[in-house]
Structure formats: C-alpha cells, structure tokens
Amino acid sequence: MADLSCKIAGIDSLNPFWLASAPPTDKKYNVVRAFEAGWGGVVWKTLGIDPPVINVSSRYGAHHDQNRRLLGINNIELISDRPLVVNLQEIRECRKEYPDHVIIGSMMAPIEERVWKDLAQQIAESGVHGIELNLGCPHGMCERGMGSAIGQVPEMVEQVTRWVKDAVDIPVFTKLTPNITNILWSAEAAYKGGADAVSLINTVNSIISVDIDNMIPEPVVDGKGTHGGYCGSAVKPIALNMIAEIARTPETKNLEISGIGGITTWKDAVEFMALGSNAVQVCTAAMIYGFRVVDDLIDGMSQWMDDKGYTSVEQFTRAAVPQVADWNELNMNYDTKAVINTDNCIECGRCHIACEDTSHQAITMTDKPEGGRVFEVVDEECVGCNLCYHICPVPDCITMEPVKTDKPPMTWPEHPLNPMRAAAE
C-alpha cells in the first residue's frame, strides 16, 4: 500500500481526498461518518452571517445516461441553513475528536470588508486548518451579490482574498467559479490577493432538463424552476482544462490547487493531480454512492502507484503539466491511422456509418461470401481523427497506430501553407 499522505497550502493530510463544501459536510454527524469511512479532510458546508438562509423544497435535477446512471446533477441549494454558532461548535468538536483529519471552513459574505474579516476570524477561532472563500455559487446567492457575483469580477476576487488574508493567519483557499470567460483572470486575482491555494471548480451554471408535460424547467418548485449549479462526472473535462491552464501559465503556476469537479474514481483523481492539483475534493460521487466511495479512491490510487513504482503522491503531481501545450506547438507532421482488429470486431457497423456520414469516408463495409460483413480502413482517406476508435463498443478493437515518417516535427507557425508565416518572414 503506497503512502498517500500529501501537503497542500502547508497543511498535512492523511490522503489527498477531501469532501467538498456541500451537503455531505453540512454537520458533525456527516463529517464523523466521512472521517470514519477514510476521507482525509472536509471543507465544511459554506458558512454565512446569521440569520441562516432558508432553502426551497425540490432542490436537485439530474442528467442520466440511458441506463439511469447519473452523469451529473444540478442543485439550487444555498449555503448552510444552520446557525453559525452551531456550525462552529460542531467544527470545534470534530477538530478535537479527529485531530489528524483536515477541516477547512468555507465562507461567503456580501462585499463588505468588515463582514468578511469578522466572519473569517470567527471561523478561524474554531480551530480550522484553513479557510476557503466560496466565490462560485451560481444560483440564489449570486442574486444577493455573493458567490459567483463576486467570483466573476477579478478585482473583487483579489479584494476579498486580501481582506481574509489580512484578517487570519491560517492558509486561505480561494474557490473559483467556472462561469467566466477566462479562468486565468480570476486565478491571477486570487494570487495577487495572497491566496495560498485556489480550489476549483465550483458548479457550472445550468438548466438540466425541462418537464415537457408541464413546460417547467427542473427541478420544479411549485410551477417554476431556476438555473442551478451543475456537477458530477459530466463536468470533469471543464475542471481539468481550467486546472491545467492555471498550472502551466507563468503568472499563476505558483498557486497550489485543490482540484474539484466530477471526481468519481481513483483514476479521475490521478488525472486531476497529474494536471496540477496538489489534492482533490469530491462532492457528487459521495452524494450518489455514500462516503464508502473513498475506499475505491484510496485503494485504486495506491494500487496504481505500486504498479507504477511511485512511493509518494508528489512524484506524479503535475507530471502531465509539461505536456500540455498550445495548439500552435503541436507537430503537424504527426500522423495516425485507425486499424481495425477484425478478430475482435462484432460487426455492428457503427464505425462505418460514423466515418461515412460525418468524417472522411475512410471505413468500407463489404459483405463476406460466407455471410456477415467486414470493415476495413482506407488508409489514404483516414485522417486519424479517433472518432471510430471512440465509438467502437469493443475496447481495443480499433486502435490508432502512428505512421512512421522521416519528416521532422513541424508546427503550424513553421508550416509552409501558413499565410501568417509568410507575413512574419
């Protein structure tokens, strides 16, 4: 069993798996169960100033696949709906009973210096390891000038981060919203404000589905619906890109990152860390399966580390970042072709129709004299797009094989057909 301990923003954690600020971390009862199940830390459900918010009934919508497996959920919940003192008391108790586990206090407030500082200090006094600033909630709270209403304005992100940094002497995580045009602007603002780390992503603004019998967006609250925050495995690619951008851009690359967004399996977690996360947070997967999903995260990651010969998580953290490039840095002389392994082919015909209708007419379908059909790639037509490879229902039936070439690597800026190149010379 590999050593999964890690450090983020100077905080030591038993493992890189924390529960994100959300209903799973709403109260002591849940947090105790989470620690017992094996989670290394929690970010407590976001705290605000009293009086506590009031939630509506009917709160989640769902995006299922055809097997009723949840790909994503969206929610219209607000922040903690329990009094601040109750939350702080429970945090104190959990810190005392579980001294080796990490607790981060998440907070949000209107854009007023005194309010942010007061609240941050009260939370810090409860003994948390750090504070996370929720600047991301894309529903409800933003209509009150909080959450994403702050997170979408880089100047405010910097301001709020600085306020809290000045007020407390524990690490500060600025939690970013993906509902912006360029994540680097808010990440850089957090950095300038003094953030020890950024956490991302919060939920993606969304309408998940419509009740077409009654013509109401879901989830339905007495005849109406509103946009909510989308999360779960469907948002993972959005999160991965934003994390990679922060990790590879000179202005932001020194920020530590708490990666969030759709992490469901140990492999997802490895990917988040390889692209720049120092640790990760999970919400939806725990909501779907219960806290026991951490078992697969821990066991799978450590099994994989043993297989690869890694003895600490730092050894693969950010390992994929150097390979993330701009499109303009890609080699135009690289070429791959689809190869169909006919032994594995079940003759479903899907690669053919996908390529025939929507790509490059590079897969032929021929009747066999003895019955059945044979599918073959026309090398001259195949552009190596990967479409057939991805849609084939049988793993390893279609592979993409690099074509041997003597041509040296050449990028688009260097390419003879690039009109801009001629202009530059």
Binding ligand FMN (rule: CB under 6 A), the pick from 9, 263, 305, 388 is 263
Is 6 one of the catalytic residues?
Answer: no
In the complex, least distance from residue 200 CB atom to ligand FMN, rounded to whole angstroms = 8
In the complex, least distance from residue 175 CB atom to another protein, rounded to whole angstroms = 27
Per-residue buried b or exposed e for 354-388, using 16+ beta carbons within 10 Å of the residue's own CB: bbeeebeebbeeeeeeeeeeebebeeeebebbebb
CA 227 to chain CA centroid, Å, is: 20
Task: Give 336 or 418: the residue with its C-beta nearer to ligand SF4.
Answer: 336
Considering the candidates 6, 94, 137, 382, report the single residue annotated as catalytic.
137
Task: Give 296 or 356: the residue with its C-beta nearer to another protein.
Answer: 296
Rounded Cα distance between 411 and 314, Å, is 32
Task: Give 252 or 284: the residue with its C-beta nearer to ligand FMN.
Answer: 284
The token pair at 169 is 């002497």
Binding ligand FMN (rule: CB under 6 A), the pick from 152, 186, 203, 252 is 203
In the complex, least distance from residue 346 CB atom to ligand SF4, rounded to whole angstroms = 5
Task: Give 94 or 397: the residue with its C-beta nearer to ligand SF4.
Answer: 397
Task: Give 247 or 298: the residue with its C-beta nearer to another protein.
Answer: 298
Residues forming the site for ligand SF4 (CB under 6 A): 340, 345-351, 375, 392-394, 397-398
**Residue 382 carries which side chain, given as an amino acid letter?**
C
In the complex, least distance from residue 359 CB atom to ligand SF4, rounded to whole angstroms = 13
Piece in contact with ligand FMN (CB under 6 A), picked from 8-16, 110-118, 229-237, 240-248: 229-237
Task: Give 164 or 397: the residue with its C-beta nearer to another protein.
Answer: 397
Piece in contact with ligand FMN (CB under 6 A), picked from 83-91, 254-262, 372-380, 393-401: 254-262
Beta strand pairing call for 216-218 and 209-211:
antiparallel
Count the neighbouring beta carbons within 10 Å of the beta carbon of residue 275: 26
Should residue 247 be labelled a site residue for ligand FMN when binding is judged by CB under 6 A?
no
Task: Give 40 or 261: the residue with its C-beta nearer to ligand FMN.
Answer: 261
Should residue 179 be labelled a site residue for ligand FMN when binding is judged by CB under 6 A?
no
Which x/- pattern over 94-113 shows residues binding ligand FMN (rule: CB under 6 A)?
------------x-------
Rounded Cα distance between 124 and 130, Å, is 7
Should residue 294 be labelled a site residue for ligand FMN when binding is judged by CB under 6 A?
no
Binding ligand FMN (rule: CB under 6 A), the pick from 13, 15, 87, 134 is 134
Q: Which among ligand FMN, ligand SF4, another protein, none contacts residue 106 (Cβ within 5 to 8 A by kind)? A: ligand FMN
Residues forming the site for another protein (CB under 8 A): 67, 69, 265-267, 289-290, 292-293, 295-296, 299-300, 303-304, 346, 348, 393-395
In the complex, least distance from residue 393 CB atom to ligand SF4, rounded to whole angstroms = 6
Should residue 282 be labelled a site residue for ligand FMN when binding is judged by CB under 6 A?
yes
Should residue 232 be labelled a site residue for ligand FMN when binding is judged by CB under 6 A?
yes
In the complex, least distance from residue 88 CB atom to ligand FMN, rounded to whole angstroms = 16
Footprint (CB under 6 A) of ligand FMN, residues 33-62: 45-46
In the complex, least distance from residue 66 CB atom to ligand SF4, rounded to whole angstroms = 18
Active site residues: 137
